[in-house]
Amino acid sequence: MGNVTISSGDKTILASANLNFTKGRFKINNSLTVTNNGTVTIKRNIVGGDATSTWTNAANPTLNVEGDLLIVGVLNANAQGNLVNYWKNKNQDIKMPSRGNYYYLKLAGE
């Protein structure tokens, strides 16, 4: 899948979802929130339109990200059972979540 832009309305990824974005960036426009309840793999960057763009990992999902994770924007990653997996095989910046901690954080190069 190429570039994805969330341009209107907050979005929720279902718990049964297993989504793979292997090409292009995943952009969350200004003041929008994506709530992940499933498994999402993003090979490129997750980009925020501004400081109010938000990715929330709800209870028990997985986010696998190889690129940058919201250099601009908010990451919520402290809900019970959620996993954020940074898996770039080179240097990768780790985003500070909004509440200062991850529930599960995995660092694994591919």
Intervals of the chain under pLDDT 70: 1, 110
- Which residue is associated with the tokens 């979802």? 17
Q: Where are the domains of the chain?
A: 4-107
Q: What span, in angstroms and rounded, lies between the C-alpha atoms of 81 and 36? A: 12
Q: What is the pLDDT of residue 1?
A: 67
DSSP code for 58 = -
Give the Cα separation of 88 and 107 in Å (integer): 8
Query: Tell me, what's the pLDDT at 40?
Result: 97
Q: What pLDDT is attached to residue 25?
A: 93
Residue 92's nearest CA partner among 66, 72, 74 is 66
Tell me how far apart the alpha carbons of residues 76 and 98 are, in angstroms, rounded to a whole number: 6
CB-CB contact of 82 with 106 (8 Å): no
CA 89 to chain centre: 18
What pLDDT score was predicted for residue 108? 87
User: How much is the pLDDT for 2?
Assistant: 80
* Cβ proximity of 60 and 15 under 8 Å: yes
Q: What is the model's pLDDT at position 50?
A: 98
